[in-house]
Amino acid sequence: MKSRVLNFVEDLRRGAADQYKYVEKALEEAAKKDPKFNIFITLKGEIPENLALSGKLAGVPIAIKDNIVTKDLRTTCASRILENFVPKYSATVVKILEKEGAVIIGKTNMDEFAMGALGTTSAFGPTLNPLDVKLSPGGSSSGSAAAVSSGIVDLALGSDTGGSVRLPAAWTGVFGLKPTYGAVSRFGLISYADSMDQIGPMASTASDLAYLYSIISSFDPLDPTSSGNPWGDKIERIAREEPDYDILRSIKLKVPKELVEHPQADDSIVKEFSRALSKLESEGAEISEISEPSLLKVPQVYYIIAFSEASSNLARFDGVRYGSRVIMPEEVDWDTYYMENRALFGWEVKRRIMLGAFILSKGYYEMYYSMALKARGMIKSKVEQMLSGGGIILTPGSPIPPLPIDYDATDLSRLNAVDAPLMLANLTGLPAITIPVGKRGSIPISIQLIGSLWSEDILLSIAKVTEEIFG
């Protein structure tokens, strides 16, 4: 499918497009659809003056997840504790986008501090799925996915700590990429779990996804985990060129049965996944089933590490260093002051902080956290063996359909089926992409590819071919 963003940028350079109309249309669509879907926490009401005439994204509207800081534009993390926080600086990715002429039209709704899988833990109310308002759009990058799926924008940024870009992409029928750890600067991303957080692009087409990624992936000296990417301009060429069907015929797609045959997986979704595999095979793809029982331990390892890092990261939000104050320090003793201000967190954030604090406490650190780090290393080694020789792991984008928007989030039974395939890429630092491949009624069907480190060029090439195959 042709890239709408690339077409616009090329038309603009030829003088055949008006960037003001592109942004105006996005703002009009946002004003019309946001009240229905609750996509934005902060939405710009008018077109900025002096839109850029040059740059790779000149005049292109984009939506940004509300845990990526934006200078002079409110950044809340969907939490009451940051309800009035207006940053004095911008994240590196925001600076890159603005340098290339992109227009940020608003900050998107999300699960509070990126903690949640349904888009329902926001202090500003849940985001609704544009495909069906009775269904969850997935989380935590719910607003960014909905902004693309609803047609408000063609591009958005989310963050992915355990599938938070890929799950909402799968449940709203758009493309989502979790990059190699370090490929996109995390400077200016309000952290959930530092060793797994990664900013990632979301888009309406594979070409748009590749084009946005080619712009935001670069080395940043402000991020100590940042790495220079090895592709040069290859990703941009992939975005601009026609799909390369040879890429599909030259790789080995491996399907771990443990990530498909989950007891909570939906039978109809698994059948649609099998149909997708058959179609890819008919186009020349080599697909084989593999077994690796250790993959079933991914969620347990992930949650121990993620909750521990979250507990440490969120300690700063105490009303002194960061965060709103509901009571002044001179009015009460320190314990009361601390607890009253921290009460602004929502229930899911409190749950993860408490569990993380317990895991890191004396007597339990070695029992849980230290063991989880060792298990993480073992899982990474196993996955590297699976990917040796140019292999790509293939799973459903989600083995269950979007859950009802009023689903009881304390019931983790259905969500457990989703966890391992998505969290695997974050535990190992590997790149992963969610690709829509059709619908069953109003339910989107998608596949996920996980590649070796720095294999985004292959994943995006496959995404372009897959998009053509499935129409």
By annotation, the residues acting in catalysis are 65, 140, 164
Q: Which two tokens mark 110?
A: 């999300």
Give alpha helix (H) positions in 204-288.
206-216, 234-240, 245-249, 267-282
Angle of the 206-216 helix axis to the 92-99 helix axis, nearest 10: 110
Q: Are 217 and 460 in contact (CB under 8 A)?
A: no
Torsions phi, psi for 361 (to 5 deg): -75, 160
Q: Which residues partner with 106 through β-bridges?
A: 43, 63
22: helix, coil or strand? helix
Q: Are 140 and 110 in contact (CB under 8 A)?
A: yes
CB-count burial class (<10 Å; 0-12, 13-18, 19+) for 192: buried
Distance CA 165, CA 156 (A): 10
Query: DSSP for 105-171?
Result: EEEE--SGGG--SSS---TT-PPPBTTBTTB---SSSHHHHHHHHTTS-SEEEEE-SSSTTHHHHHH
Q: Which two tokens mark 449?
A: 């590819």
Q: Is 59 left (phi over 0), alpha (psi -120 to 50) or beta?
A: left
Q: Are 155 and 148 in contact (CB under 8 A)?
A: yes
41: helix, coil or strand? strand
Closest by CA position to 166, among listed 157, 175, 179: 175
Distance CA 76, CA 446 (A): 31
Neighbours of 85 (CB within 10 A): 16
Closest by CA position to 44, among listed 62, 22, 18, 59: 62
Contacts of 181 (CB under 8 A, 6+ apart): 196, 198, 225, 429, 430
